[in-house]
Amino acid sequence: MSHKELKTFNEFWPYYLGEHRLPRNRFLHYCGTFFSTALLVWLILTQNWWFIPLVLLVGYGPAWIGHFFLEKNRPATFTYPFWSLVADYKMFYYALTGRLKYEWPKYF
């Protein structure tokens, strides 16, 4: 996909999928999403707010490693931070429910 400014989430989603073609990169994203969400829930329950930076590190660290070292591309978070977060949860949900394999043929 050419790099044009994406105006809607529906335009962003195929771009996001294209930046996550490697299963190992997606796995790193799933780990980051799962563990950062679990940590965030724990922080809310315990009100231990000092660990908020850890939520970001646990969430973004594995994903950025996947992009820089596996996919060798720039994380979409840098350009589209909110849509990237939403798409990460959508990709994780689709993977858990078996729907992700049906998304690829729609766009590639």
Domain span holding position 51:
32-107
Residue 54 counted as domain residue = yes
Q: Is residue 27 part of a domain?
A: no
Q: Is 52 a domain residue?
A: yes
**Per-residue pLDDT tens over the stretch 23-74:** 999 999 999 999 999 999 999 999 999 999 999 999 999 999 999 999 999 9
Nearest to 46 by CA among 55, 59, 58: 55
% of the chain surpassing 90 pLDDT: 92
In a domain, 46, yes or no: yes
If one counts the domains in the chain, the total is: 1
Quick check: is 20 in a domain?
no
The per-residue pLDDT for 104 is 86
Sign of CA dihedral 83, 90, 92, 70: negative
